[in-house]
C-alpha cells in the first residue's frame, strides 16, 4: 500500500456518496494518491447540519493503480423537525451506496486535455416506509455519470485553478434518501459543476453546484450548492468545511447550514 507518488490534493476529498471529488459532486480523480504501480485506500466521515435536518455519511474507497476506484459508504439522514411532526422523534433513514469509477483518459495535471472518468453509484435504501408513503417508486437505483476534471496551473492570478464538470443520469430523490422515482417522473439527465482556486499547495477554496431530479409531487427538490474550504496538510489527512445550501428538502424550504468532512489516506 502506498500513497507517495502524486501531488498533494490531487486526489480531492470524498463526496456524500463515497466517491472521490468535492463534497457533493464526484470528480474524475480517484481516491487517495496511488500511482499506476500502487494500491491506495481512503476512509472518510462527513456531517451536514441544516435548518431542519442532519446527514451523516461515512465509508471507504480503494484506488487500484490509479485506474479503478471502488467505494462503499452509508448515509444516515436524521429526520429532525419532520420526525417530530410525524410523531417519530429521533427517526432516521439509512442508505448504502456502492461506487465504481474508471479513469478513461488523461491526467488532472499533466495532460493537455482533462482527466475523464466514468462511474456508477449503486444505492439501496434501508428504511423505505417513509419514502414509499411520500410516493417513491423503488427502494434502490443506480446513478451513472461521466466526469471531466482539469487543474490549470497558474491560471487564476498566478494560483492554480481546478474545474470539474459532471453529467449524471439518476432517478434518486435527495440522493436516494427518499427513494427512487415518483409521481412526477424517474430517471433524468443532470448537470454538476465544481471550481476551486488553490492559493497554497495545502489549501483549496471553491464552490459546487448539483442539479436534482425533482420526482416527488409532495415536495419540491432543489439543486444542491456549497462554498467550501479544503485543507490538505499532508497526504495522510484532509478536511473540508463548507456552507451548504440544499434548498427545499422533504417539504421544508431554505435548508442551509454547515458541512464538515475529514478523510484519512493509506
Model confidence over 111-147: pLDDT tens digits?
A: 999 999 999 999 999 999 999 998 999 999 999 999 9
pLDDT band at 45 (very low <50, low <70, confident <90, very high): very high
Its pTM stands at 0.94
Predicted confidence (pLDDT) at residue 5 exceeds the cutoff of 80: no
Q: What is the per-residue pLDDT for 251?
A: 86
User: What φ, ψ does residue 80 adopt, rounded to 5°?
Assistant: 55, -120
Q: What is the per-residue pLDDT for 7?
A: 83
User: Is 237:261 a contact under the CB 8 Å cutoff?
Assistant: no
Strands 20-21 and 39-49, sheet pairing: unpaired
User: Is 176:141 a contact under the CB 8 Å cutoff?
Assistant: yes
CB atoms within 10 A of CB 117: 29
CB atoms within 10 A of CB 36: 10
Give the mean pLDDT of 60-84: 96
Cα–Cα distances (Å) from 227 to 15, 152, 158, 184, in that order, read 14, 20, 21, 30
Give the mean pLDDT of 64-90: 94
Amino acid at each position: 500500500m502506498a500513497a507517495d507518488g502524486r501531488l498533494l490534493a490531487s486526489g480531492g476529498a470524498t463526496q456524500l456518496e463515497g466517491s472521490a471529488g468535492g463534497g457533493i459532486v464526484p470528480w474524475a480523480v480517484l481516491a487517495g494518491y496511488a500511482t499506476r504501480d500502487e494500491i491506495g485506500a481512503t476512509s472518510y466521515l462527513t456531517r451536514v447540519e441544516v435548518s431542519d435536518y442532519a446527514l451523516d455519511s461515512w465509508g471507504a474507497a480503494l484506488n487500484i493503480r490509479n485506474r479503478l476506484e471502488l467505494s462503499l459508504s452509508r448515509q444516515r439522514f436524521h429526520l429532525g423537525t419532520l420526525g417530530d411532526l410525524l410523531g417519530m422523534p429521533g427517526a432516521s433513514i439509512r442508505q448504502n451506496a456502492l461506487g465504481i469509477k474508471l479513469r478513461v483518459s488523461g491526467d488532472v495535471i499533466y495532460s493537455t486535455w482533462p482527466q475523464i472518468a466514468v462511474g456508477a453509484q449503486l444505492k439501496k435504501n434501508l428504511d423505505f416506509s417513509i419514502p414509499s408513503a411520500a410516493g417513491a417508486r423503488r427502494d434502490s437505483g443506480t446513478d451513472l455519470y461521466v466526469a471531466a476534471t482539469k487543474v490549470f496551473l497558474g491560471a487564476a492570478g498566478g494560483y492554480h485553478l481546478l474545474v470539474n464538470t459532471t453529467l449524471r443520469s439518476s432517478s434518486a430523490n435527495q440522493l436516494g434518501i427518499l427513494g427512487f422515482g415518483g409521481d412526477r417522473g424517474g430517471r433524468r439527465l443532470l448537470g454538476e459543476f465544481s471550481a476551486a482556486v488553490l492559493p497554497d499547495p495545502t489549501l483549496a477554496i471553491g464552490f459546487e453546484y448539483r442539479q436534482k431530479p425533482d420526482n416527488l409531487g409532495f415536495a419540491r427538490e432543489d439543486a444542491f450548492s456549497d462554498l467550501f474550504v479544503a485543507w490538505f496538510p499532508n497526504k495522510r489527512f484532509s478536511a473540508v468545511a463548507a456552507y451548504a445550501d440544499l434548498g427545499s428538502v422533504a417539504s421544508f424550504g431554505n435548508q442551509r447550514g454547515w458541512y464538515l468532512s475529514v478523510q484519512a489516506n493509506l
